[in-house]
Structure 1
Amino acid sequence: MCHQSTLIELRGISKRYGNVEALRDVNLVVQTRQIVAVVGDSGAGKSTLVHVLAGLVQPDAGSIAVRGETVKLDSVAKAVELGIASAFQQPQFCENLDVSANIFLGREMRQGLSMRDDAGMYAKAREVLNTLSTPVRAGQSIASLSGGQRQTVAIARTLLNNPSLIVLDEPTSSLSVTQTAEVLDYIVRLRSAGRSVIMVCHDLPNVFAVADRIVVMRHGTVCAVHATADTTYEEVIAEISGVSKGAVANRMRARASRTSMPCAGGAE
């Protein structure tokens, strides 16, 4: 078993937008070599939480510690400096550029003061793509890629500065079954390479497939934290929706019963 230690700790994080309390006294611990899934209904506070971690949003109260040292994530650049990289829904790409150029978009390597280092960027892009064992090539046109391959490029972009924590917001959204399986495999590879991952995900089968821990949010608070192996779909759905686990189980049984009924008028 790999040794784990605390990588990130959030204590009492709160954030308000006018009359809306997006986060309220949120506590969260992420260990090294761990995949943590954040789940919840719309408006639960999931996106605000990962935006805080990415340095996009500054909390009104609370503190953040990285490897035991209290820090201030007041910008994306500061988060990256501290080993936190992020990829969000619908990543933006330049369709006329290749994969390598898109991985380095806005962070181009240079030779001297002005000349762009295309060869250096290509080599580094190939290195991070090889880390994921993806068939996507550094010189491939971004316009030729599928949705899953584009998400792979977005993940590869997070690896440029060798981060300890990667934050992914709905990494499997709008992907096909095959593409989703590929992206989940890449997420597991990140953990195998010694990184931690926080992913916001609405699809519970994907969560249960890869996450070590599940953080359930509701109305801006963390209402439950589970080791994935110690919880069930029914329990997590009940906590997300605020209804009893028994009611959820009854609905799931009723649905299973309906889908297993033979069609009326079928051949005898």
Structure 2
Amino acid sequence: MTNLIEMSHISKAFGGSKALHSVSLDLKAGSVHALMGENGAGKSTLMKILAGVHQPDSGEIFMNGEKLDLKSPRDALDAGISTVFQEHSLLPNLSIAENMFLGREPTTRFGSIDYPEMSSQTAKALGELGLTLDPSQLVSNLTIAERQFVEIAHCIQADASVLILDEPTAALNAADVDVLNRNIRRLRDKGKAVVYISHRMEEIFELCDTVTVLKDGALVGTRVVSEITTDELIAMMVGRELQDLFPDRTGDKGDEILRVENLRITETSQPLSLTLHKGEIVALAGLEGQGQQRFLRSLIGRYHPFAGTISINGKALKMPLSTSSGVRHLQQLKVGFVPEDRKEEGLFLALPIAHNIAIV
């Protein structure tokens, strides 16, 4: 296989922070190339340079042997490089179809936007991923998983030569991941170069041909996936051999700190009860849309369940909690909440980091 993309000695700094130190990466046509590393290793920065979002301080990028000068995401898309970013980039006030063709809308012979054509092409792209969503539906009405699939469909629909997928399965269940993997293999077999960023080891070994590891903004190495073990890959990422991925479970539990009894999300749903003790992790599992989101939001007052009681450190709270003060009440009881969509619900993006951390 020939090199479709060559990134040579790429360096990038943000203020006094060096994000990338002379990193080189080759992408071959007809392959899936995993890019791995711990958080902050430089993976997203390197890919944002290839996507035209950032410009490197030094280094060069070549495509089919010709030097690229990517000043913007439009330049990258025009060159045949399409990206699904880790942070969703869809505009919630526009429809799925309008997002899919934003900036490149098809037009009629009279010069107006050809909405039927746009809707037809969108439905076709969604259909390839097994989705039956209405192209005219507003993105704001979609679930997180559905938004992720629309992002992926948008990337595929662009018919680019290089596709960058940054944590594409973070919001998907197992069945959705299988659908995505089938489409990635289909794109690989069509001669596309796919960059796949993920922390899920099983996906890397099942899907990818080659893996490159970054650490602290520097290149650790590139290996053929079939010639490396999971332990060797982890050692490349963390810089040392790991004896145990997780500490042994002691089985000792502390005092009870949370009790939920007979919580019914709706009038027809089955009652759910659970307890949580100090030093314990309780998993809440289920397929997308089975009530996990509404259950957790019931505990902080963002959703009103049909029935149920909740106690924190032995103190009973009247359900439903107040929509306006439930979160603040729980904060006073030292209960934190991290929402599914951290960008939209968990952060004030216009405020500095210090303000976001200090807000109570």
For the aligned pair, the TM-score class normalised by the smaller chain equals 0.7 to 0.9
Answer whether contact 2:90 2:151 (CA < 8 A) is retained: no
> 1 CA distance for matches of 2:28 and 2:240?
30
Query: How many Å separate the matches in 2 of 1:167 and 1:136?
Result: 24
2:38 maps to: 41
Tell me, in whole angstroms, the C-alpha distance in 1 between the residues paired with 2:136 and 2:231: 43
Q: Match for residue 215 of structure 1? A: 212
How many residues end up aligned between the 2 structures? 251
Please give the secondary structure, in 2, of the residue aligned with 1:225.
strand
Which structure shows the bigger proportion of residues in helix conformation? 1
* 1: CA distance, partners of 2:222 / 2:113: 46
Deviates more, 1:42-51 or 1:72-81: 72-81
* Aligned partner (choices 74, 77, 96) of residue 77 of structure 1: 74
> Could you list the per-position Cα deviations for residues 215-261 of structure 1 after superposition, in whole angstroms to 9, with x for gaps in the alignment?
100011110111111111111111111113xxx2x315x86xx57x9
Q: Which residue of 180, 184, 191 maps to 1:183?
A: 180
**1:135 aligned to 116, 123, 131, which one?**
131
Gaps of 5+ in 2: 253-360
Q: Is contact 2:129–2:153 with CA below 8 Å preserved after alignment?
A: no
Q: Give the letter for the 2:183 counterpart.
A: Y
TM-score, length-normalised on structure 2? 0.63
The correspondence of residues 95-174 of structure 1 with structure 2, limited to 5 A, is 95=92, 97-111=94-108, 115-130=112-127, 132-137=128-133, 139=135, 141=137, 142=139, 145-174=142-171
What displacement does 1:81 show? 1.3
Is residue 28 of structure 2 the alignment partner of residue 16 of structure 1?
A: no
Change (3 A) 1:95 1:45: closer
What do the CA deviations read for 1:67-112 (whole angstroms, capped 9, x no partner)?
1111111111111111111111232334465432331234322235
Is 1:28 equivalent to 2:25 in the alignment? Answer: yes
Q: Secondary structure at the match of 1:159?
A: helix
> Paired residue for 1:68?
65
1:251 aligns with 2:244: yes
Report the alpha carbon displacement of residue 174 of structure 1 after superposing the two structures with TM: 3.2
1:159 Cα offset (Å): 3.1
What amino acid maps onto 1:178 in structure 2?
A: A
Higher alpha-carbon deviation: 179-188 or 208-217: 179-188
RMSD: 2.5
Higher relative contact order (CA 8 A, sep 6+): 1
Identity of aligned residues (%): 31
Q: CA deviation at 1:36?
A: 0.7
Alignment-mate amino acid for residue 40 of structure 1: G
Output the TM-score relative to the length of structure 1: 0.84
Structure 1, gaps ≥5 residues long: 264-268
Q: Is the 8 A contact 1:148 1:182 kept in 2?
A: no
* Per-residue Cα deviation, 1:17-74 (whole angstroms, up to 9, x for no partner): 2221111111111100111111101111111100000001111111111011111111
Q: Secondary structure at the match of 1:123?
A: helix
* Counterpart-to-counterpart distance in 1, 2:110 and 2:46: 38
Change (3 A) 1:94 1:219: closer
> Where does residue 86 of structure 2 map in the other structure?
89
Shift of 1:169: 1.3
* Residues 135-186 of structure 1: CA deviation (Å, up to 9, x unaligned): 3345363456443332221122123432100111111123333333333333
| Alpha-carbon shift at residue 209 of structure 1 (Å) | 1.8
